[in-house]
Structures are given as structure tokens and as C-alpha cells.
């Protein structure tokens, strides 16, 4: 891929809601010179219960919106859209588009020695076996145990990450996985990096925890460097971050401010159906 | 109101998702001879974050669908739609339409002696102060304390109603309300009747717990009787219940079977945007 672009243009990042902010946060950390335009589809969250046709339609609309913001690359920071829409929209889009599933899957396949990998995620992610399929394509010898942890998202969104009950619920969901012989575990939902410390403590040091948000930012960095697209002109403290949502901008802002390293001032609400 | 109708026609009940099943359940208990057609708008849940215009549009679509099922009356088993759409759609609809907010508010105003009433609900319900406004119209002397309990819905939907952690989360949300001087408390979310026993235990016997689902079924019964619309021809064991959703019929069925007194066999998925 060789792309002529304005290196000072922003990275577009989108998710069905707030979860993808953990991916945006990793990009801010690893690529501090890059501007970011984030879109959270809060009007249509969650994507997990929607059909593939709808997920592709939503992703196309969001990519059209992000391109009005002149982005130079797009990160699909949503497991469902990464699994269901990436192949289609990548072919239609002239700028690089990456998802979170492949970087996470690849890191897990590279890390495992026992070839036993655990994946935790939403019910939709686990039921779809998206990580299992991709990892088995990468290495047919791996075996994968999936476990849906549907309460993790509301616990994180309601600010219970450090609360007592979260420990009990981690135990409830992950007990069988702890007793299994996995040596690697994927945090297969964009909210889960916010429980990473607690999950790591619970699972113990012998289990390598893969954070797809981290791996995705690494992949993005490599793509930008390989294609001479990285922003070199900017002092890192001047990168600008813009946030757009399709509904309930206030709640989004509140959550963003609780997890990002700085306070965001405005979140703009747009009508995504117009794109 | 005097309405000519087929007394054997079903009652239409709708909600943004599964929560309204607690209202359907009360109708089954209190009006065992009435057939029910239930619609859960699982594709567009939750309603709390949507604009009033959208809630009215959704309600109109659902009422058009329910009328294709020849319902004789409609129950809006959703707090948000009851507060934001009832006035508008009632005027457009020739058959009786009732919501859950007014019956719940009236029961609380009648029950309180101290004139201090607590309301618990979703963030959207509490922020809108829908119960407060209606109760103050009924009795300007009441004072109302609201408390959003956003984790209650996922706890109930994920089957944690009887789990340990639910007790801790009840304590977390309701401690200040327990220390207040309310003597009446409204379960202002259709999921909360499924936590009624635990909330009652926590709050103690001196607090009267109002279940709007129960009050709504009582109101419906009165309207049917007053207007000579009640079904008299049927043996109660033969009432038929039909369930429709706009997405993810399997998950709906699973939840319905966990709370209804009998197993539902089929749930049909329809495209509500076509109505």
C-alpha cells in the first residue's frame, strides 16, 4: 500500500458506543502526535444484536461521516463491526481501515505456548466465535474456550470497576476459566481493558492477558510508518481530539472523562442516518 | 368512553424490550380470561436515551402493528413511552390506551402518609422526573426523592436477582433512601418488580412498595369492566398469549421463560419499521 496523504490529517476511530475509547486511549499513548476523530454510535448501541447487513450499513455511514473529517486512516474499535464489516468496507475505502479482532487474535496466537487460549467478551462476540475462527485460521492447533461476561460492560460503565461486587462477578464468570489450562486470555470486548488489572490479579501471573486495544494501536503505528503516513510535524502536546456521537452526548462525555487522561470539553451529536 | 368491541379480542401490551413482561404477567394474573399480544422493541431498546419525537414515532408504529392484531385495548408497559408518548397516541387511537406511570403515581400518592415518596428507576426515568411531575399534579404537598439504579436492569436480565452481589448493589444505591424519611417507594422501572422482595427486605416494613405493573393491571381491569369490554366467554386456561419482537427473538424467549408462569413456545420477529 502506498498512499499519498496529508500526514497532519486525523485518525478516524469508531465504535458502537463508549467502549472504543479504550482503543482511542491506546492510540493517544502510543501515537501522541496523531490527531483523532472519534465517533460513538450511541443511538444504535449495542451492535451485537444487529444483523450483519445492518452492521455493514452502519459502518458505511460512519466511514462516510469520518471521511468528511478528512481522516487518513480508520480504526474500527468495535469487535462486532471488526468481525462483520471490516472485509467489506476495507475493499470500498481508499485509506487504510483496521479492526481490533485480527491484532488481538494474532497477539494471542503468538503468545500461547500451551495452545490453549481463553476469550472473554459480550454474548454476541462469544456466540459468533469470531476470535476462535480467526485464531484457528492463523494456527489450526490452538483450542479456544469462550466465556460471555455480560455484566462487565454495565459494571464498567456505571463506575464499579474498583468495587467489591466486581470481584465477586469476576469470580462468578471466570472460575471455570481459571481452573482450565489456558495460558493466554483475550479481553475480547473494548470495555474490558478497564478491568484488566482485576482480571489479571484473578487469573494469576501464569496467564498472559491480551489487550486488543493495545495491539491495534501497535498495528496502526506500523501501518502509518510503513506507508510514510505518520505525523511528524507536530509537537505531541498539540494533538487534537474530537468526539462525535449519534445520541446522548452528555453521558458519553462523562464516561470519556472518567477514562481518558484529560477532560474532553465538547462532544457533538450528529444525525448519522444522514450519511 | 363507550366502545363497541369484540370482547374476545386480545389486549396489546408493548415495551422497549423484556421489562414490560412484568406488566403482562400481572395482566395474566389479574385478568386470566384476557388474551394478550405482546410486542418488545428489542431492536431499538433502550428508549431512555431517545428523543421524544422518536419515542412518539416508535409508539405509533407499534400501535399500528398491534391494531393489525385486532387488539381491543393497549397497555404501554414502558415508563419512557408512558411519560413521553401516551398523551399524543391516546388522542389518535379509538381504543383505550393506558400507561404505567399514572397508575403507579396515583397508588403512591394514595398510600403515603408522610407525603415523602421515593422513586427508583433508570437514569433516563429519574432525570426526566416523570413521576415527580405527575405526583405533584395529583398532590402538590408530596415531596419526592429519586434515585437511578442503572445496574438493576442488567442484574435482572442476567439472572442475578437472587445472587449475593445484588444485595450489595441494592445497599449501594438505596442506602441514602433507607436513611431518608420516605414511607412509600415506587418501583419506577418495569424490571424492578423482579427485585421487589429484596428491595422490600432491605427497605423494611415501614416503607410501602408500589409496583406500577400491579396498579396498571388493576386500572386495565376497571376500564374493561366499566366499558363492558371484558372477556366473559372464555375459560381462563384457554387465554392465548402471543409474543413479537423487533430483534433477537431467542434471547427474549429465554428471559420470558424465566419470569412467566409458563413456557412460551415461539416468539416472532417482525420488522417494526414497516408499520
B122 lies in the same domain as B192: yes
Q: Is B146 annotated as a binding residue?
A: no
Query: Residues A157, A189: contact at Cβ < 8 Å?
Result: no
Nearest CA to B98 out of B41, B35, B23 is that of B23
Tell me which of A78, A155, A207, A210 is the catalytic residue. A78
Nearest CA in chain A to B251: A49
Its domain, for residue A140, covers: 102-212
User: Is residue B1 predicted with pLDDT exceeding 80?
Assistant: no
User: Is residue B118 predicted with pLDDT exceeding 90?
Assistant: yes
B129 lies in the same domain as B263: no
What span, in angstroms and rounded, lies between the C-alpha atoms of A119 and A104?
A: 10
Q: Which of A153, A165, A251 sits opposite B169 (nearest CB)?
A: A165
A185 lies in the same domain as A130: yes
Give the CATH number for residue A49: 3.40.50.1860
Contacts of B267 in chain A (CB under 8 A): none
Minimum distance, in Å, between the CA of residue A49 and any CA atom of chain B: 6
Nearest CA in chain B to A123: B251
pLDDT given at position B56:
95
Reported ipTM: 0.83
pLDDT digits (tens, 9 = 90+) for A133-155: 999 999 999 999 999 999 999 99
pLDDT given at position A248:
77
pLDDT given at position B211:
98
pLDDT digits (tens, 9 = 90+) for B123-171: 889 989 999 999 999 999 999 999 999 999 999 999 999 999 999 999 9
- What is the overall mean pLDDT for chain B? 93
Q: pLDDT over 70 for what percent of chain B?
A: 97
pLDDT given at position B261:
86
Is A270 touching B (CB cutoff 8 A)? no
What does each C-alpha distance from A173 to A179, A190, B198 come to in angstroms? 12, 17, 23
B30 lies in the same domain as B119: no
In a domain, residue B26? The reply is yes
What span, in angstroms and rounded, lies between the C-alpha atoms of B70 and B10?
A: 7
pLDDT given at position B178:
96
Cell numbers given for A268: 457533538
Testing the interface with A: which of B57, B151, B254, B267 to mutate, by most A Cβ within 10 A?
B151
Q: Is B267 annotated as a binding residue?
A: no
Peptide bond into B46 cis (omega under 30): yes
User: Is residue A237 predicted with pLDDT exceeding 80?
Assistant: no
Contacts of A163 in chain B (CB under 8 A): 172
User: Is residue B232 predicted with pLDDT exceeding 80?
Assistant: yes
- The set of residues, in sequence order, having a beta carbon less than 8 Å from that of A136 and lying 6+ positions away, is A142, A144
B191 lies in the same domain as B207: yes
Cell numbers given for B180: 431518608
B144 lies in the same domain as B178: yes
Cell numbers given for A151: 455484566
In a domain, residue B1? The reply is no
Q: Which of B212, B243, B260 is the last residue of a domain?
A: B212
B89 lies in the same domain as B218: yes
In a domain, residue B6? The reply is no
Helix (H) or strand (E) holding A116, with range, is strand A116-121
Confidence grade of residue B3 (pLDDT, cut at 50, 70, 90): low
Q: Which of residues 17-56 of A touch B (CB under 8 A)?
A: 42-43, 49-50
pLDDT digits (tens, 9 = 90+) for A43-97: 888 888 778 888 999 999 999 999 999 999 999 999 999 999 999 999 999 999 9
What span, in angstroms and rounded, lies between the C-alpha atoms of A24 and A216?
A: 10
Helices (H), B43-95: 52-68, 79-84, 86-92
B150 lies in the same domain as B26: no
In a domain, residue A5? The reply is no
Confidence grade of residue B250 (pLDDT, cut at 50, 70, 90): confident
pLDDT given at position A39:
98
What span, in angstroms and rounded, lies between the C-alpha atoms of A137 and B175?
A: 52
What is the tally of structural domains in chain B?
2
Q: Which of B177, B212, B247 is the last residue of a domain?
A: B212
Query: Residues B154, A150: contact at Cβ < 8 Å?
Result: yes
In a domain, residue A6? The reply is no
Average pLDDT over residues B245-270: 89
B205 lies in the same domain as B116: yes
In a domain, residue A1? The reply is no
Contact criterion met (CB < 8 Å) for B168 and A165: yes
In a domain, residue B5? The reply is no
B72 lies in the same domain as B112: no
What span, in angstroms and rounded, lies between the C-alpha atoms of B275 and B272?
A: 6
Cell numbers given for B220: 386495565
Query: Residues B11, B35: contact at Cβ < 8 Å?
Result: yes
What is the distance, to the nearest Å, from the Cα of residue B150 to the centroid of all Cα atoms in its chain? 17
pLDDT given at position A236:
58
B205 lies in the same domain as B110: yes
A65 lies in the same domain as A93: yes
pLDDT digits (tens, 9 = 90+) for B47-82: 887 788 889 999 999 999 999 999 999 999 999 999
- Residue A7 per-residue DSSP state: T
Is A171 touching B (CB cutoff 8 A)? no
* Count of other CB atoms within 10 angstroms of residue B69: 14
Q: Which of B212, B230, B259 is the last residue of a domain?
A: B212
Nearest CA to A241 out of A18, A15, A5, A32 is that of A32
- What is the overall mean pLDDT for chain A? 93
* CA atoms within a 13 Å half-sphere pointing along the CA-CB vector of A69: 24
Amino acid at each position: 500500500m502506498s498512499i499519498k496523504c496529508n500526514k497532519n490529517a486525523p485518525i478516524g476511530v469508531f465504535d458502537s458506543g463508549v467502549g472504543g475509547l479504550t482503543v482511542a486511549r491506546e492510540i493517544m499513548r502510543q501515537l501522541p502526535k496523531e490527531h483523532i476523530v472519534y465517533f460513538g454510535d450511541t443511538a444504535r448501541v449495542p451492535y451485537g444484536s444487529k444483523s450483519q447487513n445492518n452492521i455493514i450499513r452502519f459502518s458505511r455511514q460512519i466511514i462516510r461521516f469520518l471521511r468528511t473529517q478528512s481522516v487518513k486512516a480508520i480504526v474500527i474499535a468495535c469487535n462486532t463491526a471488526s468481525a462483520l464489516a471490516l472485509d467489506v468496507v476495507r475493499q470500498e475505502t481508499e485509506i487504510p481501515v483496521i479492526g481490533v479482532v485480527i491484532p488481538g487474535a494474532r497477539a494471542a496466537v503468538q503468545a500461547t505456548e500451551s495452545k490453549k487460549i481463553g476469550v472473554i467478551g459480550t454474548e454476541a462476540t462469544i456466540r459468533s466465535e469470531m476470535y476462535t475462527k480467526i485464531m484457528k485460521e492463523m494456527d489450526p492447533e490452538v483450542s479456544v474456550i469462550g466465556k460471555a461476561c455480560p455484566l462487565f460492560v454495565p459494571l464498567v460503565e456505571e463506575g464499579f470497576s474498583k468495587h467489591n461486587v466486581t470481584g465477586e462477578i469476576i469470580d462468578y464468570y471466570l472460575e471455570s476459566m481459571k481452573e482450565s489450562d489456558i495460558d493466554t486470555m483475550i479481553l475480547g470486548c473494548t470495555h474490558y481493558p478497564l478491568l484488566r488489572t482485576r482480571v489479571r490479579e484473578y487469573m494469576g501471573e501464569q496467564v498472559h492477558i491480551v489487550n486488543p486495544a493495545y495491539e491495534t494501536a501497535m498495528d496502526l503505528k506500523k501501518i502509518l510508518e510503513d506507508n510514510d503516513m505518520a505525523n511528524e510535524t507536530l509537537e505531541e502536546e498539540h494533538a487534537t481530539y474530537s468526539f462525535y456521537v449519534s445520541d446522548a452526548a452528555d453521558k458519553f462525555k462523562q464516561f470519556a472523562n472518567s477514562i481518558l487522561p484529560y477532560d474532553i470539553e465538547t462532544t457533538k451529536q450528529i444525525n448519522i442516518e444522514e450519511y
